Amino acid sequence: MTTEVNLTTDGPVARVKLSGEKGIQLLGAATRERLHVVLGEIEQLAEINVVVFESEGRTFIAGADINELRSLNSETGFENSQQGQALMNRVAALSATTIAAIHAACAGGGTELALACDMRIAAEGAVIGLPETRIGVLPGWGGTVRATRLLGSAAARRIILTGELVPAATALQVGLVDQVVAEEEFRAVIDERIKLVASRGPHARAASKKLISQFEGPDAEAQFLTESKAFAECYPTGEPEVGMSAFLAKVDADWASLHNS
């Protein structure tokens, strides 16, 4: 499935819109490359100081392309994790204030992108989570690091170890999002947040964002590397093949089969 990435600008505001087939947005390799291009364009536009990531349809972002993940091994899995982290780190490093407008289901890589944003606003009907353990891997694009840093270890354990997609209200309680709004008000609230943020000093916001990142701790680079290694180490266990095959067949994964063969 192809997911397009389109950039529009209006004064200081850039909107990055993902559009996938049947309203399902996936972060496949081509889409991630296109996002890099769009981020590069934003970085060159000095007037941009607010960036909104949004989409329409059945999902905000459903996650990675499962067929791509299924084809990985320990070596290419490490590379995939590093590449995904590089994309999310680039989002996080934008000097502009970033907003994830989560109107519908947000999972896996979509949640990792949202966690890389400064603000996350969800519609009431949205569900959000990091379901990678359901398919035999872990959140390898910065998800384990950012979830722990932003949510705390208890909430990170719940979200990652269960692999559940939680309702927006629960996401608000654990800090996955900072605001939940009614479906009919969602777009208006996003516009209001954009207007509010854009009314604040661009330099002051950028400087504050940089300081907050520094105060979160200096060891993030080492943590991301550790995450990539752990993601890669999932593949020799056989769990990704079992989990992803079950996911595609829409059945429960038979983890016990790994020990009975």
Strands 127-129 and 166-167: antiparallel
Q: Is 240 left (phi over 0), alpha (psi -120 to 50) or beta?
A: alpha
**What's the burial of 122, exposed, middle or buried (CB within 10 Å: 0-12/13-18/19+)?**
buried
**In sequence order, which ranges of the chain are alpha helices (DSSP H)?**
29-43, 66-70, 74-93, 109-115, 143-151, 153-162, 168-174, 186-198, 202-215, 220-233, 239-249, 257-260
Contacts of 204 (CB under 8 A, 6+ apart): none
Give residue 132's identity as a one-letter amino acid code. E
Q: What is the CA radius of gyration of the chain?
A: 18
Q: Is 105 helix (H, G, I), strand (E, B) or coil?
A: strand
Residue from 112, 124, 122 nearest 227 by CA: 112
Q: Among candidates 41, 45, 16, 49, which has minimal Cα distance to 31?
A: 16
Q: Which residues are catalytic?
A: 112, 132
